[in-house]
Amino acid sequence: MTQKENQDLNNQLNIELSEEMAEGTYANLAMIAHSNSEFVIDFIRVMPGLPKAKVKSRIIITPEHAKRLLAALQDNIKKYEDNNGQISSSLDSDFSLPINFGGTMGEA
């Protein structure tokens, strides 16, 4: 075994993914806040017609890891768009999240 192969074996990280976690949690909104020592990312599920939304997951990471996450997302988005075409984005226009998602409003 070469020194590099031996080093690669020593640097492996075994990651366990439970069945429940593998199912994932749907979120369609993320809110990000930061302090000088951490970034807080809340993943939220907004449902049509409901004025209240629930935070489904909160992730707290260091600024260094936030930057690594940004780079990883940029890399993955580039690979996705290379294979599937440009992702349309509302970032170029004024974005506001309508409470009813553009559908009809219910009346009581």
Q: Label residue 3 exposed, middle or buried (CB < 10 Å: 0-12, 13-18, 19+).
A: exposed
Q: Which of 49, 57, 3 is nearest to 26 (CA)?
A: 57
Report yes or no on 1 lying in a domain: no
pTM beyond 0.75 = no
64 belongs to a structural domain: yes
Band of pLDDT at residue 59, cut at 50, 70 and 90: very high
Q: Is the pLDDT of residue 36 over 90?
A: yes
User: Looking at the domain assignment, is residue 68 inside a domain?
Assistant: yes
Q: Shortest CA distance to 26 belongs to which of 43, 41, 40, 9? A: 43
The yes-or-no verdict on residue 19 having pLDDT over 90 is: yes
Q: Would you say residue 106 lies in a domain?
A: no
Instruction: For the sheet with 54-61, list strands across it.
Output: 29-34, 39-45, 54-61
Q: Give the model's pLDDT for residue 95.
A: 56
Domain span at 40 = 19-87
